[in-house]
Structure 1
Amino acid sequence: MRDGNRLIGPGGLALWIAATVPAPLLYFGATHRWEENQGVASAVWWCVACVPLLAAVAAARRGPGRPREVAATTLISLALLGGSLAVFRWVIPLQGTVGWRVVLLAGAVAAVVGSLIGYLVGSRGVGRSRSRVGYLAGVMVAVAGAFLAQTTVRLGAEDSTISYDEGRYGGAGPGAVTLPAAGRYAILAVGFSPSRPACSVTGVDRVEPVTVPPSDYGGDAATYAWVAWFRAPGPGVYTLTCRSSDAQASYLVGEMPRIGGAVSSMIHWPLAGILLLGAVPGLLIMLDVAASRRRRKGVLPAGPS
């Protein structure tokens, strides 16, 4: 299929990902109190609301064509919707419940309506932009995606938290920490304490930092951010020492927060991996531009019309 006849290119894919994954999380965070967690219903219905626009643009982009292309744009729109819903089902499982069958049915109706509108607009000869996305756009999308990746992972982890501890074992100071059993324990930053402290615990080989620390735990009295964790070899009294740029910073030890979905692992990924994941749509745009230029020069054979 020729580049100009594709229903969804890398640029469209990047816009869809941005509009349906970080956008609802950022919007909720900007319009609600910090201690409120976003429910899954608001996120998935946001995705459904984006479907008719996607389908209409994809169908209109085809220009004059056969009605069967309505089915093609509908299926592609549903596939992208399914991908976004999967994110909020297994990667960032937000709290609450939603009727998934109802959501999919509504998405199918929205895709059909959007495809019909786009097909009618395209059949009336509304021009399509044939300008290709340039390397600069790809770089900008990659940078924006890398920036949004950290925020998306953080907000997703916060809203997918099942339970957390407000530092029941103490440790502010440095101070003594009495742990009841062997296992993993969290180090929590209190209030505005820096999220990148250099912490050590007596009798523990290593303290692991959390790459993207979930924050906004707690209530009006105090807030907490999960900044590191360690594995205690057994019950006993330990001493926590944390150094940071703030001499007044306070850190406590508590139980490990329980976070659902794949995002519970993503907060521990190397930062480079998180940035690369966010930059993937922009990199795809740049690869697409390079492939298009090579085809125009005859290096790669063009596909069938």
Structure 2
Amino acid sequence: MGLDHAATKPHEALSALLASDMEAVNTLITERMASEHAPRIPEVTAHLVGAGGKRLRPMLTLAAAQLCGYEGPYHVHLAATVEFIHTATLLHDDVVDESGQRRGRPTANLLWDNKSSVLVGDYLFSRSFQLMVETGSLRVLDILANASATIAEGEVLQLTAAQDLKTDESIYLQVVRGKTAALFSAATEVGGVIAGADEAHVKALFDYGDALGISFQIVDDLLDYQGDVKATGKNVGDDFRERKLTLPVIKAVANSDTDERAFWERTIEKGKQDDGDLEHALELLNKHGALEATRKDALAWAAKAKSALEPLPDHEIKGLLTDLADYVVARVS
């Protein structure tokens, strides 16, 4: 039986194990997203925070800290910091992508406006830095500040790379490391740092988060072409319609002949899409084995995540983090 059908999924088991800490994180988030002078800030933030989601990134911080034996209070601050950074990027992303729906609900920019989404996102970034400073750790501040810059850099790179057929797998990986994996790896790394773990364990946590985040994004990109809308919340081919050059298409373009390349130039670079183009795109992806090759890449990154955990001490959380890497790729395994 696959992990997708398991009675208790790894993130749910992690959530149960970390329940008291997550409750403290949620309390801190509610306190810090308040604003005495601008009530729209908690309104917009509460809309997104209240939309659900697995809270995977803050849980990774708590898990890493507990795995490394931390007994202080600041893992809660760092988990809230990670969630604020994530929420801020979602608010900004929905404006950039002109999105109308997230997690099955209207986006903040649709309910309010783009200005509110951008400015509330900025506010949450500011709050995240206040929380970082309260830990008193310059190294933590360095890690999370660098992650914030890397996320923004990845998003800007994607603006130019997403519709350029010259984008290859190395550039794709750079984008993914920026927009997705940077926060995963920072979330796990700071958990080890705040616990005073030795450098080998801190590096192991960073490597785990990095590989998990990359696998997470590759699976997301793959499911856009072969997923179930009820499970993913996305229509098949949304990335194609939005002219996003993700890994399956990059692989197909690399093996295309002259006519096939002309098709990708018309539909992705120029945005001239006709009825039947998505079906033809899927034919080309299957013809060149691009979907299967992408699936194998996702599985390989999940395997790297699991192997990264090997130096860490034996612990219930270590087992759950291993299961989590399997769960991320369960839908494409």
Is TM (by shorter chain) over 0.5?
Answer: no
Q: Which has the higher contact order (CA 8 A, sep 6+)?
A: 1
TM-score using structure 1 length: 0.30
- Normalized per residue, the structure richer in helix is 2
TM-score using structure 2 length: 0.28
